[in-house]
Amino acid sequence: MPYRLLLLTLVALSSPLWAASGETLGTLKKDVPYVENGHTRQKLDLRLPADPKGAPVVLWIHGGGWIGGGKENPPIAALTAQGYVVASMNYRYSTQAPFPAQLEDARAAVQWLRSHQTDFGYDGKRIAAWGHSAGGTMVSLLGSRQDKGTEIQAVVNFSGPTDFGLIIKDAIDGGYADRLDTPISVVALLLGGPVKQKLPLGLEASPVTHVTARSAPTLLVYGAKDTLVPPVQGTNLFTTMKKAGATVELMSLPVTGHNSVNRETIARALAWTDRALGVKR
């Protein structure tokens, strides 16, 4: 029953998974609304490098089971020292609005970044989206769908669920499906109701559902010892993207659990993103 923890646990997903350094390089613009007159959580923090002219952008989407976490102190803030603009966004929690609100917010943030590129000088046509756990789901949704007007150029998914259909099926087959609908089920909260009645929406919320040959180049980073999001969630998306003819790489971490974001994986993801966005060093 590999998904029991993912489905039933809130505390582990909403608590910090790494120690944020708080390091800020360049210029920090806090609490920028990306939706006019929007929800209090529809804001982002924008970190600009010393010279943002023509700089590529990384949009960071935090984890927390869609019920916790925030944009403050993203673990990739220091990418500004490598010439990147770093946008770290909040989004509406599932307790405030169920899916697809979270995807709508991610799309709105991309649109805001595109429409304000001339204000700050960065390159709005070179946007990579990185995210961990719940945020990993969202960046892979953005990249697999490539909806018109919110296309992105690269995705890095750290340990994000990618196939809710598989999660729900395994829960039913494992005999613990009734627990999916308890108040502490993060998937039921995300989908806005009893999971067994929400399978179509679960499939819609699954990045694996939307993969095509034009899906954004994607790097999948998964810990082999992850008990919250089993690594099969990464390998299944990897296989699906390969079959579709999309560009995808899988970074499997043999001794790592759910905390797949660290200095080493960030450095490797940065090198991959440089290649995907055509950054020359």
pLDDT of residue 16: 38
SS3 (DSSP) at 176 = coil
Angle between helices 164-173 and 232-244 (to 10 degrees): 130
SS3 (DSSP) at 2 = coil
Q: Exposed e or buried b for every residue in 141-165, given b needs 16+ CB within 10 A?
A: bbbbbeeeebbbbbbbbbbbbbbbe
Cα(265)–Cα(154) distance, integer angstroms:
16
Please, which residues have CB within 8 angstroms of residue 166's CB and are 6 or more apart in sequence? 232, 233, 236
What is the largest distance, in Å, between two alpha-carbon atoms of the chain? 56
Please tell me the pTM assigned to this model.
Answer: 0.93
Cα(135)–Cα(141) distance, integer angstroms:
10
pLDDT of residue 103: 99
pLDDT of residue 4: 56
Please, which residues have CB within 8 angstroms of residue 129's CB and are 6 or more apart in sequence? 58, 59, 61, 106, 110, 138, 139, 142, 143, 152, 154, 155, 156, 216
Cα(220)–Cα(237) distance, integer angstroms:
9
Q: Which residues of the chain have pLDDT under 70?
A: 1-25, 177, 179-181, 183-184
Domain 4-277 has CATH 3.30.342.10: no
Cα(128)–Cα(139) distance, integer angstroms:
9
pLDDT of residue 235: 98
* DSSP classification of residue 116: T
